[in-house]
A and B are shown apart, each in its own frame.
Chain A
């Protein structure tokens, strides 16, 4: 077996150069894997489907879409009229009863998803469906019209004492009670 050749000055220089190169490469790789500091004041929002953002924005602004016709009358985009009336003093206040549960209330108590804005949007959608005769049952009684509209999806839940007994099932229909275009009451069921 032959002995290895002894290191000379040229080999040592090469080794040193190689070591420096390895160090440079390692430092570069290390810098690449470190998290970069934020350079913008706001981080971009988590990406979400454009449709979800659009729907959420529409619902959020729905209250603002009511047109004030004066004398405490407000017209919805679908054409429903919210006026003074009911034990709560205004039909909007009455509708607001149906955005929170009343667990002590005997019987069922429909609760809309999405707060008051959600309720207004759902009621408008139900009204449009009713006017189009889409998945709607209509009953007329002495100037009052009662629509029961199938919405095809969950729009709320059944609360009240009965809803509690039934473990708060999802509500997929909306009942509208109207006098012409004036809303008397609306609730999911």
Chain B
């Protein structure tokens, strides 16, 4: 799925983009979150859209944290459990939560994380 499951707001740069929480696997094997606009790729390392974003190279978008590609098999849009794990649950705008045909992760937190289906 190319659209975020959970977003913290609409993009202040392009207007219509969803600033979704994305999980990347670091080079050390640890995961970390970023906020990325799914339209213009404006990127934040903290869930605060009032801060100045990072704009990745349009042809080779890299993470400002460790230089890995933003899009690829090692990254995915965060599900609810991952939003909790990274401490950003309270930053989610529930009005922007995707309720599409993807496996739902809107269940209570005790439910196991949804099976990821998006390759990128």
- Interface residues in B, total, Cβ within 8 A: 30
B82: CB under 8 A from chain A? no
Contacts of A87 in B (CB 8 A): 2, 38, 71, 120
Smallest CB separation, B19 vs chain A (Å): 11
Bound-complex Cα distance A38 to B84 (A): 74
Determine whether the beta carbon of A105 is less than 8 Å from that of B100.
Answer: yes
A142: CB under 8 A from chain B? yes
A177: CB under 8 A from chain B? yes
Taking a contact as CB atoms closer than 8 A, the residue among A89, A109, A182 that contacts B16 in the complex is A109
Q: Which residues of A contact B (CB under 8 A)?
A: 83-89, 91, 97, 102, 104-110, 141-144, 146, 175, 177, 179, 182, 184-185, 187, 189
A-B contact pairs, 18 of them (CB 8 A): A84-B59, A84-B60, A85-B41, A86-B71, A87-B71, A87-B120, A97-B2, A104-B101, A105-B18, A106-B95, A106-B97, A106-B98, A106-B99, A107-B16, A110-B16, A179-B55, A184-B40, A185-B39
For the complex of A and B, 3 pairs with smallest distance between CB atoms = A104-B100, A106-B96, A87-B2
